[in-house]
Amino acid sequence: MSIVTKPRLIGLALAAVIFAVDQWVKRLVDVDLKMRLGETIDLLPFFDLTRVHNYGVSMGMFTATSPEMRWGLVLVTAAIAVIVTIWMLREKAQWDIIGLSLILGGALGNIVDRFRFGYVLDYADFHIGEFRPFLIFNIADAAITIGVVIILARALFIRDKGEEAQTEPA
């Protein structure tokens, strides 16, 4: 059978859905709602839409202050997306494929933003009163975070049956 099996196809489909939903919501914020930078729309007592531009990567680190840095971030994140894709196509464990597909879909959504605008459009503002446990984020960021948590949890806490069989005494 080819390298693309049913779990991998499901992973690629999940990545495509994450990418599409992320881009759709960003279009909603940017084009349909015409939100301006810093503008907030109150939705729920604990969740608002607040438009911000992230010129860096995770938590605003490595801010791109020049066109060269912007394109460098595009290239680095695209290289990471390629590595994640190759890893996903070689992976056998379904939960690892799901985690990798979340990372891939989110990465592609943020790469497209950085390519088109020079920044990533963030809008999800979760808060408890004035307390904000997270920076403002987007669906792509959430998918990447959940995917990384799945991969780390599986790596740290879950052993495959094959490993258990190898460590048991004969």
Please state the rounded mean pLDDT for residues 92-118. 94
Asked whether residue 166 is domain-assigned, the answer is no
Q: Determine the Cα–Cα distance for residues 94 and 85; give it in Å rounded to an integer.
A: 14
Q: Determine the Cα–Cα distance for residues 114 and 62; give it in Å rounded to an integer.
A: 13
Q: Tell me the whole-structure pTM to 2 decimals.
A: 0.85
* The pLDDT of residue 160: 59
* The pLDDT of residue 110: 94
Please state the rounded mean pLDDT for residues 70-80. 90
Q: How many CB atoms lie within 10 A of CB 21?
A: 15
Question: What residue numbers bound the domain in which 42 lies?
Answer: 6-159
Whether residue 134 has pLDDT greater than 90: no
**Range with lowest mean pLDDT among 56-60, 79-83, 90-94, 158-162:** 158-162
Asked whether residue 169 is domain-assigned, the answer is no
**Range with lowest mean pLDDT among 51-60, 94-103, 139-148:** 51-60
Catalytically active residues, by annotation: 122, 141
Asked whether residue 20 is domain-assigned, the answer is yes
Please state the rounded mean pLDDT for residues 108-124. 94
Asked whether residue 85 is domain-assigned, the answer is yes
**Residue 58 — very low, low, confident or very high, per pLDDT cuts 50/70/90?**
low
**Residue 168 — very low, low, confident or very high, per pLDDT cuts 50/70/90?**
very low
Asked whether residue 164 is domain-assigned, the answer is no
Query: The tokens 């307390």 sit on which residue?
Result: 131
> How many CA atoms lie less than 13 Å away from 6 in the CB half-sphere?
0
Asked whether residue 46 is domain-assigned, the answer is yes
* The pLDDT of residue 170: 44
Asked whether residue 165 is domain-assigned, the answer is no
* The pLDDT of residue 85: 94
* The pLDDT of residue 100: 97
Q: How many domains does the chain have?
A: 1
Asked whether residue 1 is domain-assigned, the answer is no
* The pLDDT of residue 153: 93
- 134 in Cβ contact with 57 (< 8 Å): no
Please report, rounded to a whole number, the percentage of residues in the chain having pLDDT higher than 70: 88
Three-class SS string for the chain? Answer: CCCCCHHHHHHHHHHHHHHHHHHHHHHHHHHHCCCCCCCEEEEECCEEEEEEEECCCHHHCCCCCCHHHHHHHHHHHHHHHHHHHHHHHHCCCHHHHHHHHHHHHHHHHHHHHHHHHCCEEEEEEECECCECCCCCECHHHHHHHHHHHHHHHHHHHCCCHHHHHHHCCC
Mean pLDDT score of the chain: 88
